[in-house]
Amino acid sequence: MRRGWWVGVLAALALNAVADVQQSLDYRDYPVKPRSDESISDALYRASPILEAGRVFHGYTRWWVEWRFWWRETANRQCRIDRVSVEVQGEIQLPRLDGGTPSQRERFNRYREALHQHELVHYGFGLRAGREIENSLRNLPPEASCLELETRANETGYEILRDYRQLEDRYDRETEHGRTQGAWLED
């Protein structure tokens, strides 16, 4: 069951076009320079600048969703959202191998590709959150005042972000931070 659920998520995240949501994804790498007698796992642990909750990770994805909306008064003096703009920005940090033996490079390349795929799914959560925020704000019913509408719209956006952060945490728990997807090195 677990696998089937994530296959659906991966399929949904594979879509590049996300309604009218503007998106950008940047990459940042860090060098890994293994000694010839060192395992790739040890070299990554030594080189990684990514530390979260006291744990070292080899890859990391950050995403942000920003939304703006404009409203207008209706004929019956209610306030309705007229236009919505959503932007999703992301950054994926991954290791880059500098040097290494042929067997180290081969092992690293397989591992890095699995890690990259795992991190892309993390970014996809941001894209899905952005799309849901855009759709939800476009479909909010009118309010008696523009202040009430603004409050409701922002509460809606933040609630959606919380939901997607929880889904993202669940994804990491169920995949063991990518281990079940091949983003793991046994030495």
> CA–CA separation, 150 vs 152, rounded Å?
6
The mean pLDDT value of the chain amounts to 90
For residue 45, pLDDT over 80 is answered with yes
Mean per-residue pLDDT for 37-56?
94
Indicate the burial class of 17 (C-beta count within 10 angstroms; 0-12, 13-18, 19 or more): exposed
* Averaged pLDDT for residues 26-43: 96
Q: Output the CA angle 5-10-11, nearest 5 degrees.
A: 100
Each residue's pLDDT tens digit, 57-78: 999 999 999 999 999 998 888 9
- Domains of the chain: which residue ranges? 19-181
- For strands 79-97 and 60-73, give the pairing: antiparallel
**Angle (CA) 93 115 19, round 5°:** 75
| Across 17-30, average pLDDT | 84
SS3 content of the chain, % helix, strand, coil (to 5): 50, 25, 25
More confident residue, 15 or 186: 186
Query: Each residue of 108-160: pLDDT tens digit?
Result: 999 999 999 999 999 999 999 999 999 999 999 999 999 999 999 999 999 99
pLDDT attached to residue 74: 86
- What are the DSSP calls for 88-153, one per residue? EEEEEEEEEE-S--HHHHHHHHHHHHHHHHHHHHHHHHHHHHHHHHHHHHHTPPPBSSHHHHHHHH
CA–CA separation, 118 and 108 (whole Å): 15
Q: Which amino acid is at 107?
A: R
Q: Please state, in angstroms and rounded to a whole number, the distance separating the CA atoms of residues 25 and 114.
A: 18
Query: CB-based contacts of 85: which residues, under 8 Å, 6+ apart?
Result: 20, 22, 67, 68, 69
Average pLDDT over residues 11-21: 51
How much is the pLDDT for 76?
Answer: 87
